[in-house]
Each structure stands twice: as C-alpha cells, then as structure tokens.
Amino acid sequence: MSKSIIVTGAGSGIGESIARKAGVAGYKVGVLDVNTDAAEQVANSLPNGVALHASTTDPDQVEQALDKFGETPDALVNNAGIVRFGPLIDLSFDDWRSVIEVNLTGVFICSQVVARRMRTTGGGSIVNMTSIAGIQPNVNGGSYGSAKAGLHLLTRQMSVEWGEYGIRVNSVAPGFIDGGMSAPIFKDAEIRSTREERVPSGRLGTVDDIAHAVLFLCSEEGSYINGNQLVVDGSVTNSLMASFPRPKSVDSVGAGES
Ligand SMILES: NC(=O)c1ccc[n+]([C@@H]2O[C@H](COP(=O)([O-])OP(=O)(O)OC[C@H]3O[C@@H](n4cnc5c(N)ncnc54)[C@H](O)[C@@H]3O)[C@@H](O)[C@H]2O)c1
C-alpha cells in the first residue's frame, strides 16, 4: 500500500534527512519549507517528492500546501524550528516571540489543519520535533527550551484528544546533533570534543539518527506508541551526576560486606 508523509522544515538538516529516508522507504513526500528553493531542490531529488512552499505559522498557507499535496498524508512530521540564543536578561521580545511562534504555535497550526483531514480519513501519525533543551535548561537559550517543553505537553494533549480519531501523536527529542542548526557549534573543535566526551554513547548524533527514530514512530511497527517523547541523545540527559564524582575512598563504601 502506498504511504504519504509531509515533513515541515524539510529543506535542510534533520527534516531533509527524514524526507530522503521516507522517499527511499516508498513514501510520497511533501517537502514543506518556507525556503522555496530548498524545498524544490529536496523534492526534485526524491522518487515521489512534492515541494510545498508555506510558513508553518500561517494557517492559510498550510491549508494551500495540503491542497497542493492532493491527499491527506498518513504522517505529518512537525520538524520546522528556529533558535535565537541570548541571555534572558537582555532577550528582545521579538526573539522570544518568534521562537514560540514557529516552534510551538506553528506545530499547533499544522497539526490542527492535518488532524481535521485525518479525522475524515481514519487517522494517521504525527511526530513533533522537540529537543533535550526542553528537558534541561539551556543557558542563554532564549525561549527555545520553553517552546520545546511546551511542545512536549502539547504532544501529550493532542494524543489524548485525538486518539479517538485514530491519530497517534509522539515527539522525538534530539540531543547534540552534528548538523542542521547546530552545525556552526560543532565547527569549534574544542566545543566539539568537550561535548563528544560528555555523551555516554561517545559520539555526537547525526541527522540520520533522528530520521530513523521519526520514521519508526510513523510506521506500523509503532502503531501502539502514542503520547510519548522518544529521547535520541546517546543518554546525555541522564549524565548529570557523572559531572560530580565521589572521592575514590567513598566510591567503594560497602564493598566486600555480606
Ligand atoms: N540540529 C540540532 O542539533 C537539533 C537538536 C534538537 C532539536 N532540533 C530540532 O530539529 C528541528 C530541525 O532542526 P535542524 O537542525 O534541521 O535546523 P535547520 O535550520 O537545518 O532546518 C530547519 C528548516 O526549517 C525551515 N523553517 C524555519 N521556519 C519555518 C517556518 N515557519 N515554516 C516552514 N519552514 C520553516 C528552515 O527554512 C529550514 O529549512 C527543529 O525543530 C530543531 O529545533 C535540532
């Protein structure tokens, strides 16, 4: 049976990888991006890609993109996102608002537009791109973490409200990813090696690591997974206590006792 998927922000980075892997897996792929050239370039290189020009924050543009796609997709990946770093004490309201607008409100808009259509076709799968920055506060991260934490709650709420329509809603929270919007961070060799060392799995993540997780959640194999956040971070969010070692003498207390 043919499958279809729309990926927002698919003109580059993680979204592009999701679109490419979905294309290889036989999906008809809607490559939705505010950057028209990028959307067309990716869509034209896929076996069955459709470039969809829209901003996820504009309901009319999203409706038109869905009309152009020509069918209700089996899956929607809300991947489009932006970041504006800066200390909260100096952050401009514009920077605060633009990140909330794209990373949280834009996901609500796309999800509502698609869910209304999925309701009439028997359901589907929605995957939202969160971040480990929505789990641990990110110093000088502006409103990014608040938007992603809010998106995690929105994911859970949508899963509860839309389960009866056959719609599953989950999220994927990437960790340190060597690509997309983080590419400039990892061009700094010292930052790169410091971060690599702190990841229990011993490496940075790739855009493909994230794409695999997303497509699993979209697939039939994930059909009973609903309302979850899949953290794909090599366990870095679990490693806080590893930064606070105990003295060796205390580390071995209790050894040898029966
Ligand atoms: N790269 C990372 O390290 C990382 C880590 C955690 C989470 N994420 C999340 O993954 C997602 C993808 O990030 P990326 O690293 O691939 O970034 P990216 O900047 O490479 O790609 C984002 C894409 O979204 C598009 N876009 C931005 N605003 C849009 C809008 N309003 N409407 C439509 N398209 C829009 C951009 O044109 C771009 O093509 C984001 O939600 C980001 O927050 C990324």
Q: What is the pLDDT along the chain (258 residues), one digit of tens a residue?
A: 689 999 999 999 999 999 999 999 999 999 999 999 999 999 999 999 999 999 999 999 999 999 999 999 999 999 999 999 999 999 999 999 999 999 999 999 999 999 999 999 999 999 999 999 999 999 999 999 999 999 999 999 999 999 999 999 999 999 999 999 999 999 999 999 999 999 999 999 999 999 999 999 999 999 999 999 999 999 999 999 988 988 888 887 776 655
pTM of the model: 0.97
Residue boundaries of the structural domains of the chain:
3-233
Q: Is the CB of 171 under 6 A from ligand 1?
A: no
Give 115 Cα–ligand 1 centroid separation in angstroms. 22
Q: Where are the alpha helices (DSSP H) in 103-143?
A: 106-121
Give residue 1's pLDDT: 67
Give 80 Cα–ligand 1 centroid separation in angstroms. 4
Q: Is the CB of 155 under 6 A from ligand 1?
A: no
Q: Collect all residues with Cβ–Cβ distance below 8 Å to 64 and sequence separation of at least 6.
A: 54
Q: Is the CB of 222 under 6 A from ligand 1?
A: no
3-state secondary structure (DSSP) of residue 122: coil
Give residue 89's pLDDT: 98
CA distance linking residue 20 with residue 246, whole number of Å: 46
Burial of 18 by CB count in 10 Å (0-12 exposed, 13-18 middle, 19+ buried)?
Answer: buried
Give residue 257's pLDDT: 58
The C-alpha angle 39, 43, 48, rounded to 5 degrees, equals: 155
CB 1 within 8 Å of CB 26: no
Q: Is the CB of 4 under 6 A from ligand 1?
A: no
Ligand 1 pocket test target in 6, 8, 12 with most atoms within 8 Å of CB: 12
CATH code for residues 3-233: 3.40.50.720
Tokens at 22, concatenated? 């979905």
144 is catalytic: yes
* pLDDT tens digits, 217-253: 999 999 999 999 999 999 999 999 988 988 888 887 7
